C-alpha cells in the first residue's frame, strides 16, 4: 500500500488537488519551463510537506495529515488492484529465480536543465541482457527500462523458453 501511495503519479494527483502549483516558489527558469506542473516537482513538494509536518509535530500529526490526504484512496481502493512499480517487479522476478538484481546507469541526458530527457540502461548481467528507457526524470527512465526488461523476460519465461528457472 505504501509503495502505491508514494508513487509519483499518486503524489502528483494529491498535490494538484491541494493546489500546490499555485503556491510553489520556483526559480525563474523552472517557472518558465512549467516546473509548477511537473509531476516530479509536485510529488517532491508534497513529500516535503509531509516530512516537515513530521519534523515539526512528530509522528501523530504527520500520520493524521497522510490519513487526511490519502484516506479516501486507502479506504476505497482494492489493494489487489494496485500494481508494483516496474523496478520492484523486475527485482522480485529476478530474485525468485535466484538471479542478482539489475543495475541502472544513465546513458544520455538531453535537453535544457529545466526540460531534460534521460535515457537509462537496465542491465541484467547474469542473463547478458540490457534494455533502455527514456523519461522526464532519471527515475521515470529507470522505470521504463525496467518495464521493457520485464516484458521481454516474461515473454521468454515459458516452459519451453530458455529463461525458465
End position of a domain, from candidates 81, 109, 130 = 81
What is the domain-level CATH number for residue 73? 1.10.1520.10
State which residues form the domain around 72: 2-81
Distance CA 147, CA 135 (A): 12
pLDDT, position 122: 97
**Cell numbers standing for residue 13:** 494527483
Is the same domain home to 46 and 101?
Answer: no
Residue 11 sits in the same domain as residue 57 = yes
Q: How many domains does the chain have?
A: 2
Nearest CA-CA partner of 141 in 122, 110, 124, 118: 118
Residues of the chain under the 70 pLDDT cut: 1-6, 73, 76-83, 158-165
pLDDT per residue as tens digits for the range 1-44: 565 666 777 788 888 889 998 888 888 888 777 777 888 888 89
Give CA–CA dist 145/131, Å, rounded. 6
Say whether both 27 and 67 belong to one domain: yes
Task: Give the count of beta carbons closer than 10 Å to the beta carbon of residue 159.
Answer: 5
* Average pLDDT of the residues of the chain: 85
- Report pTM: 0.52
CA distance linking residue 53 with residue 10, whole number of Å:
19
Q: Do 102 and 53 have their domain in common?
A: no
Amino acid at each position: 500500500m505504501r509503495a502505491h501511495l508514494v508513487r509519483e503519479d499518486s503524489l502528483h494527483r494529491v498535490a494538484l488537488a491541494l493546489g500546490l502549483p499555485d503556491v510553489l516558489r520556483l526559480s525563474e527558469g523552472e517557472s518558465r519551463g512549467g516546473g509548477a506542473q511537473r509531476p516530479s516537482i509536485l510529488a517532491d513538494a508534497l513529500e516535503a510537506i509531509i516530512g516537515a509536518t513530521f519534523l515539526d509535530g512528530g509522528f501523530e500529526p504527520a500520520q493524521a495529515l497522510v490519513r487526511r490526504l490519502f484516506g479516501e484512496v486507502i479506504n476505497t481502493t482494492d489493494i489487489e488492484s494496485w500494481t508494483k512499480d516496474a523496478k520492484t517487479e523486475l527485482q522480485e522476478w529476478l530474485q525468485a529465480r535466484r538471479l542478482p538484481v539489475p543495475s541502472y546507469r544513465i546513458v544520455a541526458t538531453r535537453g535544457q536543465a529545466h526540460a531534460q530527457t534521460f535515457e537509462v540502461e537496465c542491465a541484467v548481467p547474469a542473463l547478458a541482457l540490457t534494455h533502455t528507457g527514456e523519461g522526464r526524470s532519471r527515475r521515470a527512465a529507470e522505470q521504463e527500462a525496467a518495464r521493457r526488461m520485464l516484458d521481454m523476460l516474461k515473454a521468454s519465461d515459458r516452459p519451453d523458453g530458455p529463461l525458465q528457472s
